[in-house]
Each structure stands twice: as C-alpha cells, then as structure tokens.
Amino acid sequence: MNPDYWGMGLATEVANLLISFGFSQLNFHRLYATCDPRNCGSIRVLEKVGMTKEGRMREDLLIKDGWRDSLLYSLLDHEWFEK
C-alpha cells in the first residue's frame, strides 16, 4: 500500500469488510491469513480484526532473499458473529 496512507486504519477497514463478506454473504466457516513475521503492521491488523495466531510455518515461501517463514492466523464464523 502507498506509504502516504499507512497508519490510517485502511487495511483494518478493508480486512473487516472482506471478513464480513466472507462470513455473511459467502457463508464461510473459517478464514485464514498469513503474514511475514517481520511485518509488525500486518500482524497488528490481523490482531485488530480478531484473528487468532495458530503458529509459524517454517520456510513456506520462497522470496527474492531466500526462504521465509510465515505466521498463520485464523478466524471462525462464530467468533466473528459473537464479536
């Protein structure tokens, strides 16, 4: 995302809209997200929308500077509707 717009709550708002669409319109039971463990902003967004950290997947993604770990987060439909 354009750095000029970081920290304004936009990613959190988009994540909440996508989650709401997934659970309310598409009737998903579970949603998951992954992120770079070094990306504190992304981690914070996933926490703010109520996702639970399930663990760390080791070297699951090959990027330009080598293999990268990913954090795995998830959210279940009843957790979302209880919120």
Ligand X SMILES: CC(C)(COP(=O)(O)OP(=O)(O)OC[C@H]1O[C@@H](n2cnc3c(N)ncnc32)[C@H](O)[C@@H]1OP(=O)(O)O)[C@@H](O)C(=O)NCCC(=O)NCCS
Give contact residues for ligand X (rule: CB under 6 A). Answer: 1, 6-12, 35-36, 39-42, 44-45
Residue 23 vs 42, nearer CB to ligand X: 42
Q: Backbone dihedral region of 8: left (phi > 0), alpha (psi from -120 to 50 degrees) or beta? A: alpha
Residue 35 vs 80, nearer CB to ligand X: 35
Smallest distance, ligand X to C-beta of residue 78, A = 24
Smallest distance, ligand X to C-beta of residue 62, A = 15
Contact in structure between 43 and 56 (CB atoms under 8 Å)? no
Residue 68 vs 78, nearer CB to ligand X: 68
Nearest residue to 80 via CA among 20, 9, 6: 20
